Amino acid sequence: MRKTLAWALGIVAVVVLIGGAFVGGVITAGALGWIGRRPATPAATAVPPTEWPGPATTEPGGSATPAADRGAFDYELLQDVLNLLKQEFYGNIPDAKTLAYGAIRGMLLTLDDPYTSFIEPQAAAILNEDASGQFEGIGATVRIRQDGYLEVVRPLPGHPAEAAGIKAGDLIIKVDDTSIVGLGLYEALSLIRGPAGTQVTLEVARPGQEDTFTVTITRARIEMPIVEYKMLDNGIAYIQLTEFDANAADRVETALKALLPEHPKGLIFDLRDNPGGWLDQAIKVGDIFLDKGLVLIERDSSGGEQKFLSYNGDLGEDIPMVVLVNGGSASASEIVAGALQDRGRAVLIGEQTLGKGSVQRPHDLSDGSQLRVTIARWFTPNDHTIHGEGLKPDVEVPFPADTPAGEDPQLQRAIEYLLKGQ
C-alpha cells in the first residue's frame, strides 16, 4: 500500500506537524496545524505544465471532473503587466523573485482551495519534516478559517501556549511584526514555529473582546506520546492515539494485547486532537477493529476512484467500543472514526470533527520552494464527504472551556455509554 500522509499539519501544536518521508510524494496538508519543527525530508519533484488546463469542478456526490481546457497560459499578458509596472509605477518595485512569488499566489487564489498552496523556501525547509513525536514550538492546534484568519483550535494542556493564556477560538493576527491574515497555513506556521528557548510575540483577537492583545511565548521542545493506554477503575479499557505515525497500527495492537487479557467491558478509543498522519496507518488501525468491508473511498481529480478495505481476523473486532472525537480530530482520525461510525462498529462521542478530507501532493521547486496541490478527496464507506463537513458525533458532548481541571465530561459520557448501553 502506498504511504500517503494524512496530516492536518502543524504548529507545535499540535505542536506537531507534518510528517514523514513522502513515499509516492503524497501527503495531506492540514487545515489544522501543529506548531513545531522537525528535520527536513525529501518530497516529490515538480513537473512544469505546458498549458493551463483550468480548475477542476466538483460534481454533486463528490466526484471531481476536470474543467474544459482553457487554452495556453497567457504569458504575454503577464509580461505586458510587468513591463508597464516597470515603466510607470511610482514607487519601489520588488525584486523579480518576489514578483514571481506574488504571481503564483495570485493564480492559486483563483482555485478557492486553501490547501493548494505555495510555500517559500524557508517555510518549505521547516515543513518537510518526519513524524518523530518530538517538536519545538508553542503547543497549540490551529486551522485557517474561510475568512483567512488563523484560529486556535485548542492549546495543548501543560504547554507554552496554554501557560501564556492562549485559548480555543483565539485568532492570531500578527507574529512579531508581521501580519499573517490571508497567508497560507504553511507560511503562518513557519513564522510561529522555531527553536526551543526562543521567543515569539503574537497579536491575538479574542471573540467577545473589542481590542486585540499581545502575548510573548517562549517556544519549547515537546515530546508527545503517540499511544497511551490503561484500564480505568470501572473495567473499561482506554487507548489514546495522538497521531498516525509510521508505527501507529503496531502501537495500537500492542496496547490491545496488554489490555484484552484484563477482560475489559468495553474500549474507549480517544482520537481527540489527533491531527492525522499516514494514510496506510489509518487503514490498518481501522482494520484492527473492523471485519471484512470498506474503510475508505478516495476519488481523484480525473474521476478515478480507489477503495481501501479491511479484513477478518484482527485483534479488536469484537470488543464493544466508543470513539472520542472533537474539533481537533482531523484527516486520518476522521478516516478511522468515519469508517467505524458508518459500519456500526462504534459510537462517536464528543464534538464535530474538523473536516480535513483532501489529499495534497508536494512538489519541490528549483529554488527550494514548494507547491502543494490538492489531487484527491476522501469519503467514508457510506459515501459521506469528509472534506469541509467533518463527522457529527452520535452523542454530542461539549467540553466547556471552564471545565474544572481533572474533569472530562466526554470521557465520562463514554464510560456511561459502555456501562449502560446508551
Which residues form the catalytic set? 331, 342, 356
Residue identified by cell 515569539 is 200
Q: What is the dihedral of CA 132, 136, 141, 143, to 10 degrees?
A: -100
Distance between CA atoms of 339 and 295, rounded to whole angstroms? Answer: 5
Q: What is the dihedral of CA 280, 284, 290, 293, to 10 degrees?
A: 40
- E-only strand ranges, 156-281: 171-175, 178-179, 199-205, 213-218, 220-223, 227-231, 236-241, 266-270, 276-278
Coil, helix or strand at residue 12? strand
Extract the C-alpha cell encoding 373: 496541490
Do residues 339 and 357 lie in contact, with contact meaning Cβ atoms separated by under 8 Å?
A: no
Distance between CA atoms of 19 and 240, rounded to whole angstroms? Answer: 20
Do residues 142 and 16 lie in contact, with contact meaning Cβ atoms separated by under 8 Å?
A: no
At position 215, the amino acid (one-letter code) is V
Max Cα-Cα span within the chain? 79
Distance between CA atoms of 203 and 212, rounded to whole angstroms? Answer: 7
Region for residue 25 given its phi and psi (left: phi exceeds 0; alpha: psi -120 to 50; beta: otherwise)? left
Evaluated on CA atoms 230, 233, 237, 240, the torsion sign reads negative
SS3 readout for 1-39: CCCCEEECCCEEECECCCCCCCHHHCECCCCEEEECCCC
Cα 389-392-398 angle, rounded to 5 deg = 120
In whole angstroms, how far apart are CA 34 and each of 134, 157, 187? 11, 14, 13
Distance between CA atoms of 106 and 84, rounded to whole angstroms? Answer: 18
Do residues 6 and 131 lie in contact, with contact meaning Cβ atoms separated by under 8 Å?
A: no
Q: C-alpha 395: how far from its chain's center?
A: 23
Residue identified by cell 490551529 is 142
Distance between CA atoms of 143 and 348, rounded to whole angstroms? Answer: 22
